């Protein structure tokens, strides 16, 4: 079955999740971070993902902006950083994370050749709208699918099942693209064609399902089609 639709994960795939800490470190509020911003970014992201999985397993759903703030609070405390102004700045920047350098050109070309582009993300509708607007992608990606519609986080089966009724496509017509190996495993198990964006040369996750394609960045997406 021909691929007609490209569905992208957002965080870590289109948008750089380290961007908020990196940009904050260059502001007066973030001077306290200094060269420790990569550690904060890593701990914040790790705890954010852990909280989504724990909430999905326990059934105690909360919106992604809540989970993101709770993970940041944990990371700041773990690094002994008590700085309300920095916290406010970091959360504001998270709503405008920078897109990776190749994203705009790649998505523009894919859109121009007739592919339908969508996002399927843990992010709330407000967060996704803010991200795509800040990156200038709103004219290219019209479908922003958020887990808030089913109130459970990836890689729950119900998240991937949103795509067929929302976009009117069968799983085999979809190429799902994510930088998260666990997300790729869930999407592959669901029945999507999958491409794993391995930007940092990570080993493949030891999970039952793997990607159909492995890419260094999004410039390789056209070759998957």
pLDDT at res. 60? 98
Q: Say how far apart CA 196 and CA 177 lie, in whole Å.
A: 6
Of 94, 119, 153, which marks where a domain is finished? 94
Residue at a domain's end among 46, 78, 94: 94
Same domain for 118 and 169, yes or no, is yes
Same domain, 77 and 139: no
Cβ neighbours around 31 below 10 Å, total: 12
Whether 9 is catalytic is yes
CATH number assigned to the domain comprising residue 114: 3.40.50.1000
Annotated catalytic residue within 9, 16, 95, 183 = 9
CA distance 36 to 41: 9
Distance, in Å, from the CA atom of 124 to the CA atom of 198, rounded to the nearest integer, reads 25
Which positions ≥6 away from 101 have C-beta within 8 Å? none
How confident is the model over 26-83, as pLDDT tens digits?
999 899 999 999 999 999 999 999 999 999 999 999 999 999 999 999 999 999 998 9
Report the predicted TM-score, pTM, of the whole model to 2 decimal places.
0.97
């Amino acid at each position: 079955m021909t691929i007609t639709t490209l569905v992208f994960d957002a965080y870590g795939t289109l948008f750089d999740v380290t961007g908020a800490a990196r940009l904050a470190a260059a502001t007066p509020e973030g001077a306290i971070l200094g060269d420790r911003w990569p550690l904060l970014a890593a701990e914040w992201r790790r705890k954010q993902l852990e909280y989504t999985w724990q909430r999905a397993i326990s059934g105690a759903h909360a919106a992604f902006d809540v989970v993101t703030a709770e993970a940041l609070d944990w990371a700041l405390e773990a690094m002994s950083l008590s700085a309300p102004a920095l916290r406010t700045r970091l959360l504001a920047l998270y709503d405008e994370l920078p897109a990776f350098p190749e994203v705009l050109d790649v998505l523009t070309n894919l859109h121009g050749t007739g592919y339908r582009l969508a996002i399927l993300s843990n992010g709330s509708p407000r967060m996704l709208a803010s991200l795509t607007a800040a990156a200038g992608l709103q004219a290219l990606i019209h479908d922003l699918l958020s887990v808030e519609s089913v109130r459970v986080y990836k890689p729950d089966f119900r998240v991937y099942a949103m795509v067929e009724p929302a976009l009117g496509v069968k799983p085999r017509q979809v190429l799902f693209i994510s930088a998260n190996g666990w997300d790729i495993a869930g999407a592959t198990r669901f029945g999507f064609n999958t491409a794993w964006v391995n930007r940092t040369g990570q080993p493949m996750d030891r999970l039952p399902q793997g990607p159909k394609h492995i890419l260094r960045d999004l410039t390789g997406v056209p070759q998957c089609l």
